Structure 1
Amino acid sequence: MDTRWALLRRLADGEVHSGEALGRALGVSRAAVWKAVRGLADLGLEVEAVAGRGYRLAAPLELLDAGRITAALGPEARRRLARLEVLPEVDSTSRRLLAAAREGAPSGTVCLAERQTAGRGRRGRSWCSPFAASLCLSVLWRCDEGPGRLGGLSLAVGAAVAGALRAAAPVAVGLKWPNDLIAGGRKLGGILVELQGEAQGPTAVVVGIGINVRMPDGAGEAIDQPWTDLAREGAAPPRNALAAAVLDAVLPLLARFPGEGLAPWRPAWERLDALRGRRVVVHTADGPVQGVAEGVEADGALRLRTAAGLRRFHSGEVSLRGAP
């Protein structure tokens, strides 16, 4: 294990630990401990040197723990979970699982990371994920159907995750088509579904989920739209419990979706639709289209009432914003 990561696990309780004791516990010199302390600063973590006593984090930190997450799962999610990996750092949890899919990883493989260095959103956008400040989680699922049978999956996942968040924390979470989690009119999280496979199947599905939990103030500089997190909304549950709640919602959904489609989750999505009945702008390759959002079709397409009549848009081709 990387010394920096092992050191962080020792310091996560927020208590003071002497350099000598840390060195003994980690099996390294005090100079190596000091080097690892500086490495934690590179992750954006504030480590205080207490004169004559040792080191401590400026604030306690809850690290993700595979054992605690698995133990908190309900029976169905636990049965469908094949493997759960927690990493201190990765370029992208979804990219890691897409590679794992090509190597034969089974349905129910899950990857979480404390920090992503190249997290991704829709249409190539970057996803900001400072260390231990959010939930970065991806799930691999395999199905016999081709990609054409999986329309609306990101909406179903959004409805399920929003329901899990509402149950885990008293936050009024809404949804913005096609894949944003919203609170107070600001972005709380997002969902990215990526597919590998032939037109007629089988298909490997990787669902990436990002939720802002307790973001540092400076994180806003890297986010190109109004955002929030659970702490700012007044309710930040423990991240391990939150991860388990999300997996409890998503793993059973992925097992059911190929056979049932969006239908079971569409009513929940419609109830949580943050833009329904509002004037919006759909940005397309041919230019912006203004209208009133009227919910979604059975396949997840957006219904937009324009001056020229009703139009439908699919998520792969457009982006959506509220009208000024």
Structure 2
Amino acid sequence: MAHDTDDLPRPPLDPSALNAALVRPGGMWHGVDVLPAVGSTNTELLARARAGAPHGSVLATEHQTAGRGRLGRGFTTPDRAALTFSVLLRITVPADTLGWLSMLMGVAAVDAVRRVSGVRAALKWPNDVIVPAEARAEAATADGKLAGILSEADFSDPDSPTVVVGMGVNVSQTRAELPVDTAVSLRGEGATDLDRSALLGAVLGGFEELYTVWSAADGDAEASGLADAYRGMCVTLGRGVRVHLPGEELLEGTATGVDAHARLVVEGPRGRRELSAGDVVHVRPGS
């Protein structure tokens, strides 16, 4: 279906400005490459990693045609309407700390969205960037999903394990262009700035700061302050939740914490559970 977007300024990303701002001696970013279109930035960057692409490579696209989200969900985005990118990390921290990487990206993204756009974003465990119902631009009874994050690891080379972290942020989509009713865009939430280059620069700048401290702490989220930063942005905590677990198990209870291993702690009728995976639904009082 065609949509009238004549009133929507959708300038291209500016790789020259991004590289000038982000790539510097001693920094972690090797370079930002922008493709006109690609199926999945994660898939493409994993292939580049296997061909020798270095730590700190960033791949963005103006139009992702076969994006992959959590639980195998697929999605596409209109040309220049979303910020879709992936980063390549050559890992030096213990493998059992890698669950924090997508959450680290979430913290960087929420901070960047708040600063650049003015939208009051938050996190839903484990790594969805949302606009909570109480922060929506118009009266709403449900949270809106603004961005999703997907981390994928490749241990085929034991001497150089690789993780690619990808994210797609809905920026200038109209309501009709969003894939599902639960999705929102920065434009729809009254953003003061829809500059995707500025947003990407802010996300990558924040990610570098967090990653540098976290990796220096050997992946210890508590010692590096990452765990506390995440908890401070995660609105799942303290909420009633309904969690769809692998194997079609359903758990209901109250989310009381996120532990040092990035697991969601849920207190339910059968006691305390620590969850490393699951699809969380926030339950509003009385529902």
The TM tier, using the shorter chain, reads: 0.7 to 0.9
Percent identity, aligned pairs only, is 35
- Alignment partner of 1:261 is 2:223: no
Residues 113-154 of structure 1: per-residue CA shift (max 9 Å, x gap): 011110011110113321111100100010234532323221
Counterparts of 2:220 and 2:108 in 1: how far apart (Å)? Answer: 13
Shift of 1:307: 1.1
Equivalence for 1:245? 202
Which amino acid letter does the alignment assign opposite residue 71 of structure 1? A
Q: Match for residue 174 of structure 2? A: 216
Match of 1:319 in 2: 279
Note the aligned Cα RMSD (angstroms). 2.4
Offset at 1:84?
1.4
CA distance in 1 between partners of 2:146 and 2:54 (Å)? 30
Match of 2:233 in 1: 272
Give 1 or 2 for the bigger CA radius of gyration: 1
1:79-109: per-residue Cα shift (whole Å, max 9, x none)? Answer: 3221211011000111110001111100011
More helix by share: 1
The reply on whether 1:103 has 2:103 as its aligned counterpart is no
* Counterpart residue type for residue 87 of structure 1: L
TM-superposed CA distance for 1:319, in Å, is 1.2
5+ residue gaps, structure 2: 133-142
Structure 1: state its 5+ residue gaps.
1-41, 48-56
1:59 CA drift (Å): 4.6
**Equivalent in the alignment of 1:18:** none
Q: TM-score, normalised by structure 2?
A: 0.85
1:126 aligned partner: 74
Distance of aligned partners of 1:306 and 1:75 in 2 relative to their CA distance in 1, 3 Å threshold: same
Aligned counterparts of 1:247 and 1:179: Cα–Cα separation in 2: 16
Contact 2:23 2:31 survives alignment (8 Å):
no
Q: Runs ≥4 in structure 1, deviation > 6 angstroms?
A: none
Q: Is 1:114 matched up with 2:62?
A: yes
Equivalent pairs, count: 268
Give 1:23's aligned residue: none
TM-score (norm 1): 0.76
The alpha carbon displacement at 1:295 in A equals 2.1
> 2:97 touches 2:219 (CA, 8 Å); kept in 1?
no
Residue 90 (structure 1) aligned to one of 31, 35, 38: 38
